[in-house]
């Protein structure tokens, strides 16, 4: 299992660590209108999953804005999701205030389905750790980053390069 810290303290990740080459695990999260979202909803497209603890924090805010900006250069065959345990209503409000329109925020608050399937659920905090996953059109994982310190930024350039390599 990936080893991460949160504010320099060790935390326990629950679920299965995902590795490059794995079939992407399915999950059920909630869109901002409370409708279910699964991996198959974007089948046939390249997916980037940007996982954050909470949109209401500085690094998570910056990460989501960065991937929103990058989305304009990635084409229509790429879907970017930001996954957190924030409530769908809070995600919708935040996106409206931040002008986020190219990234789809989804909430894992109900079942922690994504968190457990991708091994990003922090047991001690009931939050998701910071991570990035790229999944190709055939549901194969092609890029994985579990950020070692959850309050640090991911490697944006590497994640975008992984998406562009598939496009």
Catalytic residues: 60
* Longest CA–CA separation in the chain, Å: 40
Six-digit token string for 106: 């989804």
- Cα dihedral 119→123→127→128 (10° resolution): -10
Give the span between the Cα atoms of 159 and 164, in whole angstroms: 9
Six-digit token string for 47: 């997916």
> How many Cβ atoms sit within 10 Å of the Cβ of residue 57?
13
């Amino acid at each position: 299992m990936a080893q991460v810290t949160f504010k320099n303290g060790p935390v326990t990740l629950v679920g299965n660590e995902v590795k490059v080459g794995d079939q992407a695990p399915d999950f059920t999260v909630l869109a901002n209108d409370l409708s279910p979202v699964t991996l198959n909803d974007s089948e046939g497209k390249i997916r980037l999953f940007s996982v954050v603890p909470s949109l209401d924090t500085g690094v998570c805010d910056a990460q989501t804005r960065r991937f929103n900006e990058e989305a304009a250069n990635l084409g229509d065959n790429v879907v970017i999701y930001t996954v957190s345990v924030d409530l769908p209503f809070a995600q919708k409000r935040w996106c409206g205030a931040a002008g986020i329109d190219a990234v789809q925020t989804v909430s894992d608050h109900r079942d922690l389905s994504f968190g457990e399937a991708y091994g990003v659920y922090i047991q001690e905090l009931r939050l998701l750790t910071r991570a990035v996953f790229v999944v190709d059109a055939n549901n194969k994982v092609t890029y994985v980053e579990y950020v070692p310190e959850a309050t640090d930024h991911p490697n944006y350039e590497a994640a975008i390069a992984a998406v562009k390599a598939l496009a």
